[in-house]
């Protein structure tokens, strides 16, 4: 049911201006040159938490290594995590791998043109399902990502926080009301591009915006509104630097967000400051983690998850990013001797 504000937007005129602007100014991105559902699904998983400039290289490497659903389904989890390494949020890689296995097993490696089937894949939420349906199959399906949410909140001058149930409902209803009767690829791409290029979080370029006549934003920089963020929580991560015969002891993670990745072994017991080799902070969700690495003695026996790894092998295994950073820095200081 459209709200009063939504009714005041002339959707057809807005779409026409937006499409004209996009044809002239839209970026030539690799995933816009294809309608292959697999390539589009890969790009959408990568773009979920990562910027376009970073995704470009990973996307090309990924498609060269795993060109279709069947190839990805047949790969080992180690290979998948290794090619994903550096993009972070590894749950995305695992879900993409499982999604490929489901498409291979259930649909013979061809993703069907069916929104419900796409939405049922692991790691595919409402946005990703709609994005694949519109970019691959040109379906007139609404999508809301951060860029589109910002544009719509501003078009409506929406004061409701967009991360509330009501705020989210208004965004999805408006995205639906703005859709053309058929053909969602161009429209959704254009709306998203407007948010990426002109209707940016800071300093939106309203003077050259193609849809400014349809926009109700009074103070666009203040929109979209969000609920107050939870406070950042400090966490300490104490790890061991254990070297024997030029090899470093590493531990593969199980049952955590880092599952399958390698890290420096955790130091459970209290540590003396004199042994500290390196410490730095990194962000993790709403935590600020201080990773401290201490020189330590080799254990008498290794756990099943532990393994000695030489420096030459380190580039070929999937390491948690902060641990790769610590290892590189300490290796450069000759701490492996």
- Judged by DSSP in three states, 241 sits in strand
Residue 211 interacts with ligand SF4 (CB under 6 A)?
Answer: yes
- Judged by DSSP in three states, 46 sits in helix
Scanning 4-12, 45-53, 93-101, 212-220 for contacts with ligand SF4 by CB under 6 A, the matching segment is 212-220
Residue among 132, 209, 242, 249 that touches ligand SF4 (CB under 6 A): 209
For ligand SF4, the closer CB: 40 or 190: 190
- CA dihedral (216, 220, 223, 224) positive or negative: positive
Residue 154 interacts with ligand SF4 (CB under 6 A)?
Answer: yes
Catalytic residue among 4, 44, 237, 313: 44
Cis ω on the peptide bond leading into residue 224 (within 30° of 0)? yes
* CB within 8 Å of 282: residues ≥ 6 apart: 288, 289, 291, 321, 322, 325
Residue 192 interacts with ligand SF4 (CB under 6 A)?
Answer: no
Scanning 162-170, 202-210, 254-262, 301-309 for contacts with ligand SF4 by CB under 6 A, the matching segment is 202-210
CA-to-CA separations, 70 to 115, 239, 260, in angstroms, rounded: 21, 39, 22
In whole angstroms, the minimum distance from the beta carbon of 156 to ligand SF4 comes to 10
For ligand SF4, the closer CB: 203 or 268: 203
Residue 44 annotated in active site:
yes
Residue 206 interacts with ligand SF4 (CB under 6 A)?
Answer: yes
In whole angstroms, the minimum distance from the beta carbon of 154 to ligand SF4 comes to 4
User: How many chain residues touch ligand SF4 (CB under 6 A)?
Assistant: 14
Residue among 73, 100, 144, 155 that touches ligand SF4 (CB under 6 A): 155
What are the structure tokens assigned to 283, written together?
């962000």
Residue 212 interacts with ligand SF4 (CB under 6 A)?
Answer: yes
Residue 170 interacts with ligand SF4 (CB under 6 A)?
Answer: no
Binding residues for ligand SF4 restricted to 213-232, rule: CB under 6 A: 215, 217, 220
Residue among 151, 267, 320, 326 that touches ligand SF4 (CB under 6 A): 151
- The string of DSSP letters for 190-204 reads HHHHHHHHTS-SSS-
- Dihedral Cα 186, 189, 191, 197, nearest 10 deg: -130
For ligand SF4, the closer CB: 196 or 242: 196
What is the distance of C-alpha 101 from the center of its chain?
Answer: 20
CA-to-CA separations, 274 to 211, 237, 307, in angstroms, rounded: 62, 17, 26
Beta strands in 132-275 (DSSP E): 233-241, 243-244, 247-252, 262-263
Binding site for ligand SF4 (CB under 6 A): 151, 154-155, 198-199, 204-206, 209, 211-212, 215, 217, 220
Positions annotated as catalytic residues are 44
């Amino acid at each position: 049911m459209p709200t009063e504000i939504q009714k005041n937007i002339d959707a057809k005129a807005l779409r026409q201006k937006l499409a004209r602007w996009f044809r002239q100014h839209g970026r030539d991105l690799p995933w816009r040159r294809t309608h292959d559902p697999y390539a589009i699904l890969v790009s959408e998983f990568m773009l979920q938490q990562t910027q376009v400039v970073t995704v470009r290289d990973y996307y090309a490497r990924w498609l060269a290594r795993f060109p279709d659903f069947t190839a990805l389904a047949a790969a080992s989890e180690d290979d998948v995590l290794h090619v994903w390494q550096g993009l972070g949020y590894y749950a995305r890689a695992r879900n993409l791998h499982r999604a490929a296995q489901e498409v291979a097993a259930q649909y013979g490696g061809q993703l069907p043109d069916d929104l419900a089937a796409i939405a049922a894949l692991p790691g595919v939420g409402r946005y990703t399902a709609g994005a694949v349906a519109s970019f691959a199959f040109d379906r007139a399906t609404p999508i809301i990502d951060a860029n589109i949410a910002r544009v719509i909140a501003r078009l409506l001058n929406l004061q409701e926080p967009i991360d509330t149930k009501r705020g989210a409902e208004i965004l999805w209803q408006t995205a639906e009301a703005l859709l053309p009767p058929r053909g969602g690829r161009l429209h959704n791409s254009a709306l998203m591009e407007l948010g990426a290029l002109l209707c940016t979080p800071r300093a939106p370029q309203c003077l050259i915006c193609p849809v400014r006549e349809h926009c109700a934003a009074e103070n666009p920089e203040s929109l979209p509104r969000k609920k107050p963020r939870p406070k950042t929580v400090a966490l300490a991560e104490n790890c061991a630097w254990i070297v024997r015969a030029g090899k470093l002891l590493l531990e593969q993670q199980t049952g955590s967000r880092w599952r399958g990745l390698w890290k420096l072994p955790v130091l459970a017991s209290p540590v003396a400051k004199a042994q500290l080799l390196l410490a730095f902070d990194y962000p993790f969700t709403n935590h600020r983690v201080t990773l401290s690495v201490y020189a330590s003695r080799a254990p008498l026996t290794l756990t099943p998850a532990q393994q000695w790894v030489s420096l030459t092998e380190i580039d070929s295994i999937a390491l948690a990013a902060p641990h790769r950073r610590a290892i590189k820095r300490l290796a450069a200081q000759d701490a492996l001797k």
